[in-house]
Chains A and B, each alone.
Chain A
Amino acid sequence: MYMYLPIAEMSVNIWLILGLGVAVGLLSGMFGVGGGFLLTPLLMLFGVPPAVAVSTGTSQIIAASMSGVMAHWRRGNVDVKMALFLLAGGLGGSWFGVWLFSFLRSIGQIDLIIALTYVIFLGTLGSLMLMESIRTIARERRVKGSSRTRLHQHNWLHGLPLKTRFRRSKLYISALLPISIGMVVGVLTAIMGIGGGFIMVPAMIYLLGMPTSLVVGTSLLQIAFVTANVTFLQAYTSQTVDIVLGIILIVGGVVGAQFGSRVGAMLQGAQLRGLLAALVLIVGSKLAFDLVIQPSELFSLVIMGRP
């Protein structure tokens, strides 16, 4: 069954797009990532113009993350205070990111910067997470039953000023930490056109030392707000949000996210982190591969509009 997209100006197979929505929703519910880092490239692969793919992708992430937030909320897995601090940083960061984006574009190498940022972040995070989760799983196997360890390591990060208590996360840390994580993610969101969950989730686990169970719901809440802001700005400034494409993706995404959060609840923290790490590494190495191996098509077209 085909349907014509009014903004993308092309006709697509509804079932294909619906399936894509379900797949991305599943990931988002399981891992607390928005799924933008998979959705946007896949939409472009189907022939959706890049600008429309990026903008419409964010509208799907709103729905998937809202649905995920609700599911996690019922289980009490959202730290609202932490989300607010992250959001404060995120809004500031994305403002700076938008400026940086236009600066890089004026130099003419935005594509390279995007690809390199992806490779560096995905590669580093993926490897670190994979090693950590393998170690944890191995340790839990060895000392069965006595898995009560320290919640997190203490280091120089805990010497920062403006200490704030986050009751839900059982943390007493500097407010500067979540704000700066939010800010870095905000910058990257603007540059890479994604929700940023796959960077924020590991940062919250390893830098803040938040319990894995809370991280997913909390990051989803922050992502929902940031992507809502981006969707509105894109629709307002560049008219690249395709509502019809968005609806199809959203329907799939909402269903997927519900199943995803169930599957996620069944898995243990370390397994969940290991799976996400594997996914992040796969995407990262695909991008690195594309940068290093000679592409089959050296040329690309950019439609500049009507004369």
Chain B
Amino acid sequence: MLRAFMIFNICGFMLLGIIFHPRHSYAQDGLIADMSDHLIAITTGFTGANVLLFGAVDEDSSIVVTIRGPEQNILVRRKSRVAGLWINDKEIAFSRVPSFYALATTAPLENLVPDSLRERHQLGLDKLGIFPENEISPEVPIFREALVHLQQQRGRYPTASAQITFLGNRLFRVNLHFSANLPTGQYLIEVFQIKDGEVKNAQTTPLIVSQVGTSAEIQRFAYRHSALYGLIAVAMAVIAGVLGALIFRKV
């Protein structure tokens, strides 16, 4: 009974998705997917968010979901020993690197998709298209590996992929967790339907991560009225200092 209700509910959500997101619901017949939210609102008290991704397939198959954050240009530097000191001596600039990359799968990726396909759809961190701007050096792979490793340390490329579960053989769902230090911007969620090591259908959905409320207003003010913002910052600090001294004199 409960299960039937949930399925009904999910179908209802999907219908809503179709009605309200016509641009992104171009899924071919076999696959349909949507999310509980298309906006992650970062408020002053933001500590992370959970978004439910759900969908249905027309036949027994596997699902792979990739989540990519907005792209950034990233400089990777390496220290070497020069005259006894460890200093930065080589750097490689990588362009258009996803600021966030996470996976959700029904089973380990390697078991679902052959290498060639992972290459084509950039499935998995090792297949992610991270290339230097204009650098032909035998050391590029080492620097690329370091970039991925450091991004993992910062929590930007979660190491464990989320587990997608099936309800029956047709409906699937996964809870996508986003931690507190999430880069803002437009994310792209890609859902792949995999059958016998081939992509049968794919669908993309955007996810917006944006500051809202007080914190968004502070940021906007800082950029639009920089001089005034600077004066306020200084005045506030001076007043706080003077107030502190006055209050503590009485104690």
Contact = CB atoms under 8 A, between A and B. Distances in A.
Given A231-B230, A233-B230, A11 B77 contact: no
Interface in A182-240: 224, 228, 231-237, 239
Nearest to B77: A300
Interface string A1-16: 0111111011100000
A67 B245 contact: yes
Given A294-B86, A303-B72, A228 B237 contact: yes
Contacts of B79: 295, 298-300
B44 A3 contact: yes
Given A64-B241, A68-B241, A301-B147, 16 more contacts: A2-B45, A4-B215, A9-B183, A47-B181, A62-B237, A63-B237, A71-B245, A111-B87, A234-B230, A236-B230, A251-B240, A291-B86, A294-B86, A299-B149, A300-B77, A303-B75
B interface bracket (residues with beta carbon within 8 Å of A): 35 or more
B87 A112 contact: yes
Nearest to A301: B150
A295 B246 CA distance: 46
B151 A236 contact: no
B136 interface: no
A6 B245 contact: no
A241 B241 contact: no
25 contacts: A3-B45, A6-B216, A7-B218, A10-B181, A60-B237, A62-B234, A62-B241, A66-B245, A67-B241, A67-B242, A111-B88, A232-B227, A239-B226, A241-B229, A243-B229, A243-B233, A243-B236, A246-B236, A254-B241, A254-B245, A257-B244, A292-B84, A298-B86, A299-B150, A301-B150
B64 to A, nearest CB: 26
Contacts of A10: 180-181
A235 B73 contact: no
A247 interface: yes
Nearest to B47: A2
Most buried by A among B79, B146, B211: B79
Contacts of A290: 86
B24 interface: no
A51 interface: no
Nearest to B84: A292
Interface in A275-307: 290-295, 297-307
B232 A243 contact: yes
Contacts, number: 210
Interface of A: 2-7, 9-11, 47, 59-60, 62-71, 74, 109, 111-112, 224, 228, 231-237, 239, 241, 243-244, 246-247, 250-251, 254-255, 257-258, 290-295, 297-307
Contacts of A7: 218-219, 222
Interface in B171-229: 180-181, 183-185, 211, 214-216, 218-219, 222-223, 226-227, 229
Nearest to A233: B230
A63 B73 contact: no
A302 B238 contact: no
B78 interface: yes
B85 interface: yes
B88 A112 contact: yes
Contacts of B234: 59, 62, 228, 231-232
B249 A74 contact: yes
Contacts of A231: 230, 233-234, 237
* 9 nearest A-B residue pairs (beta carbon): A66-B241, A254-B244, A235-B230, A70-B245, A299-B146, A62-B237, A11-B180, A6-B215, A304-B73
B96 interface: yes
B218 A244 contact: yes
Contact of B244 (A63, A233, A234): A63
A4 B215 CA distance: 8
Most buried by A among B45, B185, B234, B244: B244
A127 B93 CA distance: 41
B32 interface: no
A228 B241 CA distance: 12
B56 interface: no
Contacts of A235: 222, 226-227, 229-230, 233
Interface in B48-81: 70-81
B227 A241 contact: no
A257 B241 CA distance: 9
Contacts of B230: 231-236, 241
Contacts of B181: 9-11, 47
A286 B19 CA distance: 61
A7 B184 CA distance: 12
B243 to A, nearest CB: 7
B248 to A, nearest CB: 4
